[in-house]
Amino acid sequence: MKLLRWGEAGAERPGMIDAAGGLRDLGGVVPDIAGDTLSDAGLARLRALDPATLPEVPADTRLGPCVGGVGKIICIGLNYADHAAEAGMPVPPEPVVFLKATSAISGPHDPVRIPRDAAKTDWEVELAIIIGTRARYVEEDCALAHVAGYAIANDVSERAFQNERAGQWTKGKSHDSFCPLGPWLVTRDAVPDPQSLPLWLRVNGTVMQNGSTATMVYGVAHLVSYLSRFMTLHPGDVISTGTPPGVGMGMKPPRFLVPGDVMELGIEGLGQQRQPVIAEPG
């Protein structure tokens, strides 16, 4: 099942994809793709619907981020061994954890804005885990039961803010528009193996990243279990699981985003995103 949110930014409505790929409105069924809707019982209720009975949504409607009510975005750094190598850093002995501000969340096709005084804005295609039920001290063998589904995230990063200024990574990761999320939340029953998903990213039509979640250092179940030992995971929380090699920072010479660039990215079975790059207004 593919769930989404559509409409103007800040006023999105819940929706789903029908068998023909059309958009259907869930506004009369649930208030949002958030909270209890993400539980097994909530998803079962949606799965029992006949999408053909739901109102159609115009195909050209803006898609918003695929989940609402996000309490936190937890990111995992250096989670692909080959990406750690291109960054010149060792594979971490346990997951590298940092947070990204929820105000960075945007729709999958919304423009990405380069911050004022930025110099090294970069791309990162990532598999996002969407939590469905509260997880606290969960064992790895039952961790996936707490997952509602999966989506694409672009962990856009301003490397100069991230790496060349004092403090932690968060300020290089959290500018408005730095977390395009969607287009859909694909429920976990439709993703039998989250560790076998090809993922890719292009800039201006040129392939920059071409990898697979099979090469993650720490897989989905491990990450959910691991994080649940340090913080309670709530419905709607997003875990962005790291990126394969091919980021601009790792190129020789480095290549960073400029206004006018276009990013396109995708993960097999989870759809595609497309973002034009613009300068921060004002």
Q: What is the CATH number of the domain that holds 247?
A: 3.90.850.10
Residue 35 domain-assigned? Answer: no
Residue 196 domain-assigned? Answer: yes
What's the pLDDT score for residue 89?
Answer: 77
Domain count, the chain: 1
CB 84 within 8 A of CB 130: no
- pLDDT per position as a tens digit, 103-152: 999 999 999 999 999 999 999 999 999 999 999 999 999 999 999 999 99
Q: Indicate if the pLDDT at residue 282 is higher than 80.
A: no
Containing structural domain, residue 232: 63-279
Residue 220 domain-assigned? Answer: yes
Residue 50 domain-assigned? Answer: no
What's the pLDDT score for residue 84?
Answer: 76
* The two three-digit tokens of residue 206, written as one number: 């040129």
Neighbours of 41 (CB within 10 A): 9
Confidence class for position 161, pLDDT limits 50, 70, 90: very high
Residue 77 domain-assigned? Answer: yes
The reply to whether the predicted model has a pTM over 0.75 is yes
* Residue 282 three-state SS: coil
More confident position, 86 or 184: 184
* Residue 240 three-state SS: strand
Residue 111 domain-assigned? Answer: yes
Residue 211 domain-assigned? Answer: yes
